[in-house]
Amino acid sequence: MQQISPIYLQRQLLENPQTYFLLDVREPFEYQIANIDNSLLMPMNQVSDRLQELEKSRAIVVVCHHGMRSENVAYYLDQQGFTQIFNLTGGIDA
């Protein structure tokens, strides 16, 4: 698992929107308030049951509010054999 800064991610997505798959692990009510375009909502408590929806070889950026839940999920995905996992430093508010 690696950290990725919001500024770097924003630049990469502007240049090539397909560079990263965005996985939002917040709750639906949080996602409704604010989200990143084209992100997939998968609340933290559903990740283990929905792993088949994710590609193990794809570059995945895990996003939450402040970066703590996403870091936990990123670590979990790394342990499950996902090879390109990034945590959005500071979360969606950064």
Active-site option among 9, 23, 64, 77: 64
Give the span between the Cα atoms of 41 and 29, in whole angstroms: 11
User: Could you confirm whether 64 is annotated as catalytic?
Assistant: yes
Tell whether the torsion through CA atoms of 56, 18, 10 and 37 is positive or negative.
negative
Give the span between the Cα atoms of 36 and 20, in whole angstroms: 12
Specify the 3-state DSSP secondary structure of 68.
Answer: helix
**Run of H or E residues at 82:** none
CB 44 within 8 A of CB 72: yes
Q: Which sequence positions are flagged as catalytic?
A: 64
